[in-house]
Amino acid sequence: MVPGGCSLAGARAADFGRFEETVGALDRRFPGVVVDCPSGLARDVGEQLRAADLLLLVTTPERTALMDALRTRKLAAELGTPLGVVVLNRAGADDRPLLDRLADDLGAPGVVIPDRSVLARTSGETRPVDSERATDVAAAFGTLARILDEY
């Protein structure tokens, strides 16, 4: 996992001129490379999508996040990067129909990651999510892993 960065200053200072070459080198060395990048239409997003073999489109149920996700999908399609899966993160039980519509419209499988406080508690630790008995969250990540494993 290559993080997208933690600060605006860091993102502005990044040199994306060799991004595709760098990701290629990582891909040759490791069995799978996941690059965390922002949604939207910024130049750096285009560079990251151009280097990708597959788009894992993650969004939340909020309107602005969904609009950014759709723009990102459009840009990825223009760059020839296929969509592998749509993930609705921090979703409530009533958000499943939204994901189903979105995934159907975009032509990709969809996964809901439930909004659970266990994710916040375990994200900075080395314990897996299922250690907190959050079986729905663990199952969602398992489904996502199986979908990605097909690629």
pTM for this prediction: 0.81
Q: What is the mean pLDDT of residues 130-136?
A: 71
Q: Report the greatest alpha carbon distance in the chain.
A: 44
Fold of 8-149: Rossmann fold (3.40.50)
Q: What is the pLDDT of residue 15?
A: 72
Break the chain into its structural domains and give their ranges.
Answer: 8-149
The pLDDT score that the predictor gives to residue 132 is 62
Reported as a single tens digit per residue, the pLDDT across 88-108 is 999 988 999 999 999 999 999
- pLDDT, residue 134, reads 76
pLDDT interval class at 79 (50, 70, 90): very high
| Average pLDDT across the chain, whole number | 85
- Kindly report, residue by residue over 28-62, the tens digit of the pLDDT: 998 788 888 878 777 778 888 988 999 999 999 99
User: In this predicted structure, what is the pLDDT of residue 18?
Assistant: 82
Residue 121 sits at φ, ψ, to 5 deg, of: -70, -35
Distances from the Cα of 62 to the Cαs of 16, 39, 79, 131, in angstroms?
Answer: 29, 13, 26, 29
Q: Are 25 and 52 in contact (CB under 8 A)?
A: no
Alpha-carbon gap, residue 12 to 101, rounded angstroms: 35
- The beta-strand segments (E) located in the chain are 55-59, 83-91, 110-114
